[in-house]
Amino acid sequence: MKKLTSICTGLLLVSAAVFAEDHSVAALEQANAAVVYGEAGHTSHLLEHAKTALDHLLAASITAKGVSKKYLEDAVTELQEAIDHGDMGHVGAATKHAKAAVRDIKAGNK
């Protein structure tokens, strides 16, 4: 019984790590899309992608640990700033924060 419990625990830990990695990758893709739309001046699309990236980052940061978690939390802050500026129509500032989020996500995925 203990052996079975150990195996199940190990599988759970591995799947949690894969789950976090999947969300980090999806967050990076969405944050990159937010930057592209921001640079093109499309605030509504920037907001859409930034919000989706934020959702993925929040899911990823739940299981992240150490330095990776710190970078993901920094990216969450940057994406929230991007969303706030986008809501105010400040596409330049929103894009700047989305770029910072991309940088932090990449650093957290190393």
Where residue 4 falls among pLDDT bands split at 50, 70, 90?
very low
48-66 mean pLDDT = 92
How far is the C-alpha of 51 from the C-alpha of 45, rounded, in Å? 10
- pLDDT over 60 (residue 9): no
Domains and CATH numbers, the chain: 2-108 (1.20.120.660)
Predicted TM-score (pTM) of the model is 0.81
Q: How many C-beta atoms lie closer than 10 Å to residue 96's C-beta?
A: 17
How far is the C-alpha of 96 from the C-alpha of 90, rounded, in Å? 10
